[in-house]
Structure 1
């Protein structure tokens, strides 16, 4: 029911602006409040990528050890020392559907973040942190650190 003295177009515009503001705020890049930021480890921070041996294991056959890292299609390793990124910042292209592991070692404590996939990992000084995921979204995604605000590379998924 219309509110006396208000026009439907004014209310519609107000609802549209409110919705847009909510969407912009929801997609912002949070730091410590990001639930996807994981403790440092080589364990995946998203759904695990099944390994062929785990998927084909039959009853009575031995299962792979829990400490065995999952097989990935693309391993990307980055090192940060004195704010210098090795290999230098650029684009890394992967095929949609590939499993990807990004491992970063930084000389200062920081947080790794993969935009678009909203994945992250803590990076304690001198120790590697990793994220592992299935590249199921196409596009261009920045991979960065939060504290030092370094763009490590741009992930291109085709």
Structure 2
């Protein structure tokens, strides 16, 4: 029963992710850092959207076994903390991005086409294997804020 419930939840999360990211896209070319208007595909099989979990820092932690890089962002009054910049990860790392916003929004990872709901004041997370190299914007959809650029090498 536990496996069936977990599989159903994972399937529901994948469908929700695909619906959230429809119509959003960006070039994976590292020289281009602006979003395009071309549609994107559904999330790759290596991606998993996870339930909201609070995170502590943008560095690996012992409290999250299996996750190589944990990145945490907070948005308050349209200000991003830590300030927008680039975060570099190695290809193959398991990455978890957790964001908390003071207003309801959607988190989106371009290129990987992943998304998560951000209820006001509650964290939302995406977790995925960084299996594509390049430069990928991580942004909010409703407020249009660039949270950071993810560089996968």
Q: TM-score range by the shorter chain?
A: 0.5 to 0.7
Distance in 2 (alpha carbons) for counterparts of 1:79 and 1:142: 16
Which residue pairs with 2:40 in the alignment? 27
- The yes-or-no answer on 1:110 pairing with 2:86 is no
Q: Which structure has more strand as a fraction of its residues?
A: 2
- The yes-or-no answer on 1:128 pairing with 2:142 is no
The 3-state SS of whatever aligns with 2:106 is strand
Which residue pairs with 1:18 in the alignment? none
Which residue pairs with 1:96 in the alignment? 91
Q: TM-score, normalised by structure 2?
A: 0.61
The 3-state SS of whatever aligns with 2:52 is coil
Structure 1 residues 131, 39: CA separation in 2 closer, same or farther (over 3 Å shift)?
Answer: closer
Q: CA deviation at 1:97?
A: 0.1
User: Could you give the per-residue CA deviations for residues 9-67 of structure 1, whole angstroms, max 9, x where no partner exists?
Assistant: xxxxxxxxxxxxxxx74339xxxxxxx9x68624xxxxxxxxxxxxxxxxxxxxxxxxx
Name which of 95, 107, 119 aligns with 2:114: 119
- The yes-or-no answer on 1:85 pairing with 2:97 is no
Q: TM-score, normalised by structure 1?
A: 0.60
Distance in 2 (alpha carbons) for counterparts of 1:141 and 1:26: 16
Q: CA deviation at 1:73?
A: 0.3
Question: Matched residue pairs, number?
Answer: 103
Distance in 1 (alpha carbons) for counterparts of 2:50 and 2:97: 15
Task: Extract unaligned runs of 5+ from structure 1.
Answer: 1-23, 29-35, 43-67
Structure 1 residues 39, 131: CA separation in 2 closer, same or farther (over 3 Å shift)?
Answer: closer
Distance in 1 (alpha carbons) for counterparts of 2:52 and 2:95: 15
1:144–1:152 Cα contact (<8 Å) kept: yes
